[in-house]
A and B are shown apart, each in its own frame.
Chain A
Amino acid sequence: MNTQSVFSRQAIAVLVLLVLIILFIQKRPRGMFALKGRAVEA
């Protein structure tokens, strides 16, 4: 109804997304498709 509520739903969505990114990188520190083996220097 008011612009505040529309804006804040968007903000919450972004916030949740950011937290998910943080948690995801914790789980996979080198991204989704991590290179393994000698090619990657630790």
Chain B
Amino acid sequence: MQLKTTSAILYLDGISVSFDGFKALNELSFVIEPGEMRAIIGPNGAGKTTMMDVITGKTRPDNGEVYFGQGAYDLSKLDETQIAELGIGRKFQKPTVFDMHTVEDNLLLALKNDRGVRATLLWENSSAQQDRINQILDITRLGNARSRVAGSLSHGQKQWLEIGMLLAQEPKLLLVDEPVAGMTDAETMQTAELLKEINRDKTVIVVEHDMAFVRELGVKVTCLHEGSVLAEGTIDQVSANDRVVEVYLGR
């Protein structure tokens, strides 16, 4: 059953992606073990979002290998829906909640459930599902906004709703792209706490620019530059690297 022998929940090796001659990812190799949390940093255009696109099936890699679940699934052969069903959930750079639906409906749609046509046609609410939604509303502090249309939420609230939707999916691996962009300092710290909480039983990859936030997470950091890994280690080790400073932190 196993396509690749590895203990890693996510295994990328030599991934390259080009768009019209521009090399977005250049022989990128990246490994993360189950239960780990990793922070990915890097300047704009370093390939962070493209990497997530490859993992979630939006972009096919030109070469390289990408496996999920201790080598059980070859992600380059699957599409977005299949990969989502495998248990990889993604939070996007810009909040992409469903603006036209209420907060509650957003969570309802995200809730781990039969996604088939028949199931949704015949779906009826149950107390178990309602409880789960209430639980997530509590965690994301959106309880009193539940009937509001998501498009009317503040930016920070939308970010939290999206994290809530991610939680509702009950993924095994969370890909969180710039969760604290546009948040206040207080909200940023709360988000760090939330992610650490989530990390207790799920693997999390966080992409961020906010160094205070990354420091607060206190996890291993991978710095990307021009489509491949530039440095990896603790935040102090990586910040001390001259090349990293030159390319990214110095700005």
Contacts and interface: CB of A to CB of B under 8 A. Distances in A.
B20 interface: yes
A42 to B, nearest CB: 8
Tell me whether chain A's interface is mostly helix, strand or loop, or mixed: loop
Contacts of B49: 38
A30 to B, nearest CB: 14
A37 B49 CA distance: 11
Q: Assign chain B's interface to a size class.
A: under 10
B123 interface: no
A28 interface: no
Interface string A17-42: 00000000000000000001110001
Interface in B159-200: none
A38 B49 CA distance: 10
Interface of A: 36-38, 42
7 contacts: A36-B19, A36-B20, A37-B19, A37-B20, A37-B22, A38-B49, A42-B58
